[in-house]
Amino acid sequence: MTLTDLANPTKFLALTARILPWLAGVTAILLAIGLYQSAMAPDDYQQGATVKIMFIHVPNAWLSMFVWGVMSVAALGTLVWRHPLADVAAKAAAPIGAAFTFLALVTGSLWGRPMWGTYWEWDARLTSVLILFLMYLGLMALWRAVEDPSRAARAAAVLTLVGAINIPIIKFSVDWWNTLHQPASVLRMGGSTLDKAFLWPLLVMAIAFSLLFITLHLAAMRNEILRRRVRSLQMMQANRVAFTSEVGTGSRDGNASQEIGAA
């Protein structure tokens, strides 16, 4: 089973039908374990119980950037290899990514209120994530603006690749600028500064959220493929109806040429 085999939508549908229940089950189990561990994690000596927002906030924030990365790879697949599943993957990922970004913003803002004393602060990290959210919405608007899916796919692919410039800016904004948002503490040179009691639940939650994304993404891709099939069936049917009625009453082109002949 290679990537080229998966290019056949029927094979893709058959494969995902088999693995989706397993994926969903593993995601649910890991989420349950992660949530339990998060709830059992000790309170922070400074932040108290609010530190537990981190276990939701950080995976969402990571996923918000990761999904754009997935879409960028899919965009390359659309533009370079014309892979038929690539534009389906890109289209299905956009709303999920927007949801992760929105949740990261909301949980961050709820965390910021007790810690920083404000729901919103115009610092570099928050602003760049907000821009990411706006770009997700713009991308979704672009997908919705065009009826022809392959045409929309190529336009969206260009925009996705241009928008990918924002991802490193978000990642390094806390290092480049002196921000209110804390700098990276998990993935950094010289090891994590996070205590083990917090690190383990966070990692479990991160894996659970990644699996959640994969599950949702595959399900959304299935829906998108089926939606396109329904669309092409409807168009074929409309075509047939139009054709039979044309044969019944005489084609319009024939009438027009007769008129031209008469003139």
Partner 1 sequence: MNALAALIRRDIKIALRVGGGALIGVLFFLTVTVLMPFAVGPDLALLSRLGPAILWLGALLASLLTLDRLFTADHEDGSLDLIVMSRTPLELACAAKALAHWIAAGLPLIIATPVLGLLLNLDGTATLAVAATLLAGTPALTFTGMIGAALAVTLHRGGLLLAVLVLPLSIPVLIFGVAASQAAISGSLPFGTPFSILCALSLASLVIGPFAAAASLRHGLD
Q: Is residue 90 involved in binding partner 1 (CB under 8 A)?
A: no
Q: Is residue 181 involved in binding partner 1 (CB under 8 A)?
A: no
Q: Is residue 158 involved in binding partner 1 (CB under 8 A)?
A: yes
Q: How far is the CB of 187 from partner 1 (least distance, A)?
A: 24
Q: Is residue 161 involved in binding partner 1 (CB under 8 A)?
A: yes
Residues between 135 and 154 that touch partner 1 (CB under 8 A): 135, 137-138, 141-142, 145-146, 151-152, 154
- DSSP of 3-40: HHHHTSHHHHHHHHHHHHHHHHHHHHHHHHHHHHHHHH
Please answer whether residues 90 and 157 qualify as being in contact, where contact means their C-beta atoms are separated by less than 8 angstroms.
yes
Q: Which is nearer to partner 1, 148 or 259 (CB)?
A: 148
Report which of 82, 85, 71, 262 is spatially closest to residue 156, judged by C-alpha positions: 71
Q: How far is the CB of 118 from partner 1 (least distance, A)?
A: 20
Q: Which is nearer to partner 1, 96 or 152 (CB)?
A: 152
CB atoms within 10 A of CB 227: 13
Question: Under DSSP, is residue 48 helix (H, G, I), strand (E, B) or coil?
Answer: strand
Q: Which is nearer to partner 1, 146 or 214 (CB)?
A: 146
Q: Is residue 49 involved in binding partner 1 (CB under 8 A)?
A: no
Long-range contacts of 13-16 (CB under 8 A, 24+ apart): 13/222, 13/225, 13/226, 16/218, 16/219, 16/221, 16/222
**Which residues are near partner 1 by CB under 8 A?**
79, 127, 131, 134-135, 137-138, 141-142, 145-146, 151-152, 154-155, 157-159, 161-163, 165, 169
